Amino acid sequence: MAKKTTKKSNETGWDYAPSLESIGHIDLKESYDLFIDGKWVKPSSGKYFETINPANEKVLAKVAHANEEDVDRAVKAARKAYDTVWSKMPASERAKYIFRIARLMQERARELSVIETLDAGKSIRESRDIDVPLACNHFFYYAGWADKLEYAFPNRDFEPLGVAGQIIPWNFPLLMAAWKIAPALAAGNTVVLKPAETTPLTALKLAEIIELSGLPPGVVNIVTGFGDTGAAIVEHPEVNKVAFTGSTAVGKHIQRAVAGTDKKVTLELGGKSSNIIFEDAPIDQAVEGIINGIFFNQGHVCCAGSRLFVQESVAELVVRKLKQRMDSLYVGDPLDKNTDIGAINSKEQLEVINKYIKIGIEEGAEMYQPNCELPDKGYFCRPTLFSNVAQSNVIAQEEIFGPVLTIQTFRTVDEVIQKANNSPYGLAAGVWTDKGSRIFNLTSKLRAGVVWANTYNKFDPASPFGGYKESGFGREGGLHGLRAYVKLK
């Protein structure tokens, strides 16, 4: 099934033979039901939908479409598990279950990585080295907190919120499930989670792992479906907390839906993050950071460094090196270990990205794409750089969520702060400079939840992540992430 990675040109003229990850060791069923109250149950409508591999458009499995009735069953199971088991259990026992889930995920890391790559289109290198290890680490990290909550919230009385309804997107399917489930369980809540419709498989594998871990029935319920399933979770009166990661449009819709209820909400929405290169930065490392910032995971990253700001004196050098590096990127089969840029997650998302590329050209920006061939099946996009971009251009303002980078220059620190902050979003930023004082100056003035210094897209379960402005509110990860799942009294 694997195609040769279709890379064509690079400076040295070198090429690598394909190095395909085997898929023989994975276990995928033809069809998946809903995981409710510790059992696999059929959707009450009898409806299933297909999830495909975006790299070759082949169907991977059929997945149940949960409706309101199914969501109600899941929420009731979560409520019962909360009232009768999970909230009564000693915290040290809860910790053991979370720890066990982490261990089981680690044992199946290889299978989870391959399934993630098949279902989402992301390169195997990323799912294997980033998504899956980070997801395991999240469970390990929060397992550690579960019986130490009195140190997390010293001198405060606290209690769990109850049932958490969690809705996640398709860009980091297993990792987002871990970000949501692990802190909720550690703080003593029970969960109803809905994965995205294009990437439900690793969440369903996680349900199998949870079943294997012996976690009491109903503590975690996984329901698959579309926006209507998500809406049913948000609107269910017995859900005490809604945690959502996805588009700003749906985030706003959720906020309206919970207005006037006492549901707690955390929203992690889009971004248009800036990556700022000063003239004294280590240029080669910065170029790697730019590449990692925007082309990592096909640019399907809410905190992608999609707006590049380069100090005028080094702009020509940076652009030359950047183009050279873009020429050497491998675009193609996500299962190939050489692949840097895998498949775009869905046809719809590819259309969105192509629409923005067209807008960029029409706006008069100058486009650069390496001259690599793309596979004839599947959804692929070349890494794209736009220069000659004005601050007011649509491509510099709106989230594209694809491998598309805009570059602008600046002269002074104040100018770049003003430009970087000129966005409705505020999720992340990167600063590249040799000067420590400048880093501190910028980290305090950039309106972004995360600011990376001389690196980009680095994550750790212990450090909180979240946004300013239209990028949402609430933090995930670290102690802050735990705080989002308790009521402090």
List residues near ligand NAI by CB under 6 A.
167-171, 194, 196-197, 226-227, 230-231, 234, 245-247, 250, 253-254, 268-270, 302, 349, 352, 399, 401
From the list Mg ion, ligand NAI, none, which binds 64 (C-beta under 5 to 8 Å, kind-based)?
none
For Mg ion, the binding residues (CB under 5 A) are 51, 119, 198
Catalytic residue among 21, 111, 302, 303: 302
Q: What is the 3-state secondary structure (H, E, C) of the chain?
A: CCCCCCCCCCCCCCCCCCCECCCCCCCCCCEECEEECCEEECCCCCCEEEEEECCCCEEEEEEECCCHHHHHHHHHHHHHHHHHHHCCCCHHHHHHHHHHHHHHHHHCHHHHHHHHHHHHCCCHHHHHHHHHHHHHHHHHHHHHHHCCHHHHCCCCCEEECCEEEEECCCCCHHHHHHHHHHHHHHCCCEEEEECCCCCCHHHHHHHHHHHHHCCCCCCEEECCCCHHHHHHHHHCCCCCEEEEECCHHHHHHHHHHHCCCCCEEEEECCCCCEEEECCCCCHHHHHHHHHHHHHHHHHCCCCCCCEEEEEHHHHHHHHHHHHHHHHCCCECCCCECCCCECCCCCHHHHHHHHHHHHHHHHCCCEEECCCCCCCCCCCCCCCEEEECCCCCCHHHHCCCCCCEEEEEEECCHHHHHHHHHCCCEECEEEEECCCHHHHHHHHHHCCCCEEEECCCCCCCCCCCECCEECCEECCECHHHHHHCCEEEC
Cβ-proximal residue to ligand NAI, closest one: 230
From the list ligand NAI, Mg ion, none, which binds 245 (C-beta under 5 to 8 Å, kind-based)?
ligand NAI
From the list ligand NAI, Mg ion, none, which binds 247 (C-beta under 5 to 8 Å, kind-based)?
ligand NAI
Nearer to ligand NAI, 309 or 465 (CB): 465
Nearer to ligand NAI, 211 or 398 (CB): 398
Nearer to ligand NAI, 204 or 269 (CB): 269
From the list Mg ion, ligand NAI, none, which binds 194 (C-beta under 5 to 8 Å, kind-based)?
ligand NAI
From the list ligand NAI, Mg ion, none, which binds 119 (C-beta under 5 to 8 Å, kind-based)?
Mg ion
CB of 65 to ligand NAI, least distance (A): 11
CB of 245 to ligand NAI, least distance (A): 5
Nearer to ligand NAI, 3 or 253 (CB): 253
Nearer to Mg ion, 205 or 483 (CB): 205
Q: Is 268 a catalytic residue?
A: yes
CB of 89 to ligand NAI, least distance (A): 30
Nearer to ligand NAI, 197 or 333 (CB): 197
CB of 184 to ligand NAI, least distance (A): 17
Catalytic residue among 21, 116, 197, 268: 268
CB of 320 to ligand NAI, least distance (A): 30
CB of 53 to Mg ion, least distance (A): 6
From the list ligand NAI, Mg ion, none, which binds 51 (C-beta under 5 to 8 Å, kind-based)?
Mg ion
Q: Enumerate the active-site residues.
A: 268, 302
